[in-house]
Amino acid sequence: AQSVSQHNHHVILSEAASLELGCNYSYGGTVNLFWYVQYPGQHLQLLLKYFSGDPLVKGIKGFEAEFIKSKFSFNLRKPSVQWSDTAEYFCAVNLREYGNKLVFGAGTILRVKS
Amino acid sequence: DTAVSQTPKYLVTQMGNDKSIKCEQNLGHDTMYWYKQDSKKFLKIMFSYNNKELIINETVPNRFSPKSPDKAHLNLHINSLELGDSAVYFCASSPLPASGPDYEQYFGPGTRLTVT
């Protein structure tokens, strides 16, 4: 079955620290990859997405992610986090052959201490 | 302008009742979805419709029935509510084709359903 694994469920960082959130997926077909963010009390918002081309994609608010096909990974990074980055982050894989089914990871709660 | 809207935002009801959640999108998208986010924040797709046609129907109890009167609306009706149905339900929509770089799913604000 298709699945998405996020390695860390809770991450606590101090402001200005660097961030890397791991994401691996298990699916051998064509995928599109996404990172969504859910700020406290808000709905899901798209951070960035990968479709094709350059495996290093840049998103909003200084986030970036790298698609490594051989490792089935799509890790999210930010060089210097801010208190306002406190949120829950979801990695997701879009399975085109399954009617564009979006399969989410379990989420990573990031808390940034000021 | 609200792109994907849901009503109500909060819904508290008793076991055994029947309730509906409404979703509307004004983005002109062809495809709409329902997701369930459980108490552990795990998000899972329930249904998707493309132009009023059911595309995805995950393993969901048949007490849940989606209804799409037109491509801008996808409502979720739940019969005989159970305690385990308590969750946040998110509606989403997306354009086609899914292979294009503009493709993403846009999410609504969620409906927090509490069954007592």
Considering only CB atoms, B98 lies closest to which of A36, A94, A109, namely A94
- Residue B98 tokens, joined: 């899914």
Quick one: DSSP state of residue B84? G
- In this predicted structure, the answer to whether residue B52 has a pLDDT above a threshold of 90 is no
Chain B: give the shortest CA distance to residue A32, in Å: 8
3-state secondary structure of B103: coil
Cα separation, B14 vs A26, in Å, equals 39
* Span A16-27, average pLDDT: 95
List, for residues B11-29, the tens digit of each pLDDT value.
999 999 999 999 999 999 9
Q: Quick one: closest CA in B to A95, which residue?
A: B98
DSSP string computed for A29-91? S-EEEEEEEE-TTS-EEEEEEE-SS-SEEE-GGG-EEEEEGGGTEEEEEESS--GGG-EEEEE
List, for residues B80-107, the tens digit of each pLDDT value.
999 999 999 999 999 876 656 667 889 9
Name residues 13-42 of chain A within 8 A of B (Cβ). 32, 34, 36, 42
| Pairwise CB contact (< 8 Å): A102 & B42 | no
